[in-house]
Amino acid sequence: MNTRPAAAFLLGAYVCASTLTGCALPRTSDDPLAHAVDYARYVIVTIKNEPTNVAPRAGASVRSYAGAQAYGVTQHTRSAVRSIAAAYGLRETTAWPIELLGIHCVVFEIPLDMNREDALSRLRMDRRVDSAQPLQSFSTLNTTASGDPYRRLQRNLDWMHVDEAHRWSLGAGVSVGVVDTGVDAAHPDLAGRIVHQTNFVGDRSDDVYPDRHGTAVAGLIGAAADNHQGIIGIAPQARLYALRACWASENGTRASCSSLTLAKALTAAIEARLQVVNLSLAGPADPLLTRIVQVGQKRGIVFVGATPPSDPRTSFPTNIAGVLAAGVSGEDRGADATLFAPGRDVLTLLPGGGYDFASGASLAAASISGAVALLLARNRTLPAEEARRLLAGSTRHFASDSGEQLASVDLCAALSALAADVVCSQRGTSRQARR
């Protein structure tokens, strides 16, 4: 099932190319730390940087998100970076100012004979340092290909009562950021659906599946409706932003990201004023990323994260209060805040115009992001906690085709609880289980 009609493909490429022209999100250059590195040799140090209209220095890897005269790095901050590097024998690898936190963020490489924890302890006691932490690695949570590509075609939509929900909301105009690998914007089911793409990873010669995971996630959230192609997304009229912060591994079914690439993507999402940010990934608790997410939450952005196999309360991003934690139905890990959605054998998109079934918590997160977009299209000021309450309250328990007991949010029921004019069929409401 890997069809790609030539006419539709060419039209999609043309429409997408036209759509991307002149968008406001930043362009980024290839960054050496976006590639595979020995993370144990790098630390992230932040230094307070008072806002000022100073252009970034020529030739630096720093790229402003608002033009040449936007937020820049003060001379005092630059001097502090140089003196810190000299004092501890560190080498500056890359750096960029984060206006929304009022800091300058620097990645230092530590000497081979230096213990990283000792270096971090010393840096944290330095009055010039705002924060110091390890450069960390994150990974997406599986989209494993199924061996039976025709089985249970989009049964996930049936379980969530998406067809009924679409009578009342299609997610029109809601901006959703997909922080992931790249996305195949030329896929016939994504033609014209990607508002903008930004690459925070750069070109990687070893990344032979650069778009697989992100394409699968984006397709589940917002594949086009009524285009006579393969599938329909949960929020087919949402505005999708592809923020590439991860690179593929394991034949493209998983992907890796770093504190560096995720920080840049999340900052861009916040400054672009996106309404929903999908994070189909997990990793260790990260102080810098937590600060960035919390700023986004204060600005009304809803963040959705995939529930990892370990305790979601200790893993980024689901360890952050207010982040909507999405789990696979039938895989209850005991987290009270988990919102369940189908994540097994879900039909979605492959790069190059293809389709296949996939599984993993990444897909559950994408489903919840699509669900939030449906709710926000009906109430643009809906807080994240209210969205979580509505979706949790809609959760129903049922038996799958094979008799397995599953749980899933019911999108029509959630919309009905939000808006008085939304009416669901008896089938869509009688089996709700309030949590």
d(CA 310, CA 154): 28
d(CA 218, CA 178): 7
pLDDT reading at 150 higher than 70: no
Q: 175: which strand partners?
A: 239
d(CA 318, CA 293): 11
d(CA 101, CA 97): 9
Amino acid at 268: A
Nearest Cα to Cα of residue 262 among 251, 246, 274, 249 = 246
The 10 Å Cβ neighbour count of residue 206 is 9
pLDDT of 219: 95
d(CA 382, CA 376): 6
Q: 242: which strand partners?
A: 178, 197
Task: Give the DSSP H/E element, type plus range, for residue 391.
Answer: helix 384-394
Amino acid at 213: H
Instruction: With beta carbons less than 8 A apart as the criterion, state whether 281 and 244 touch.
Output: no
Instruction: With beta carbons less than 8 A apart as the criterion, state whether 100 and 87 touch.
Output: no
For residues 279 and 10, which has the higher predicted lDDT (pLDDT)?
279
Nearest Cα to Cα of residue 312 among 336, 288, 343 = 336
Q: 341: which strand partners?
A: 328
| Range in 3-7, 83-87, 199-203, 298-302 the model is least confident about | 3-7
Pairing verdict, β 91-98 and 103-109? antiparallel
| Range in 20-34, 212-226, 276-290, 366-380 the model is least confident about | 20-34
Three-state SS for 315?
strand
Instruction: With beta carbons less than 8 A apart as the criterion, state whether 108 and 93 touch.
Output: yes
Q: Which band of pLDDT confidence, cut at 50, 70 and 90, is reported for residue 336?
A: low
- Mean pLDDT to the nearest integer, 175-196: 95
Structural tokens at position 119: 């270096």
Instruction: With beta carbons less than 8 A apart as the criterion, state whether 157 and 231 touch.
Output: no
Place of tokens 């809601």: 174
The 10 Å Cβ neighbour count of residue 41 is 16
Read off the pLDDT of residues 63-119 as tens digits, 9 standing for 90 and up: 322 333 456 899 999 999 999 999 999 999 999 999 999 999 999 999 999 999 999
Read off the pLDDT of residues 151-170 as tens digits, 9 standing for 90 and up: 246 678 888 999 999 999 99
Nearest Cα to Cα of residue 382 among 351, 415, 347 = 415
Chain mean pLDDT for the chain: 82
Read off the pLDDT of residues 268-322 as tens digits, 9 standing for 90 and up: 999 999 999 999 999 999 999 999 999 999 999 999 999 987 666 779 999 999 9
Instruction: With beta carbons less than 8 A apart as the criterion, state whether 143 and 360 touch.
Output: yes
- Mean pLDDT to the nearest integer, 9-16: 30
Q: In sequence order, which residues have a C-beta less than 8 Å from that of residue 164 and are 6 or more positions away? A: 411, 412, 424, 425, 428
d(CA 349, CA 357): 8
Instruction: With beta carbons less than 8 A apart as the criterion, state whether 65 and 267 touch.
Output: yes
Amino acid at 96: W
Instruction: With beta carbons less than 8 A apart as the criterion, state whether 14 and 186 touch.
Output: no
The 10 Å Cβ neighbour count of residue 83 is 12
Instruction: With beta carbons less than 8 A apart as the criterion, state whether 267 and 292 touch.
Output: yes
| Range in 69-78, 218-227, 339-348, 373-382 the model is least confident about | 69-78
- Say if pTM beats, i.e. exceeds, 0.75: yes
DSSP for 64-77, please give it: -SS-TTSB---HHH
pLDDT of 206: 58
DSSP for 146-210, please give it: PS-TTTTTTHHHHHTTHHHHTTT---TT-EEEEEES---TTSGGGTTTEEEEEESS---TT-SST
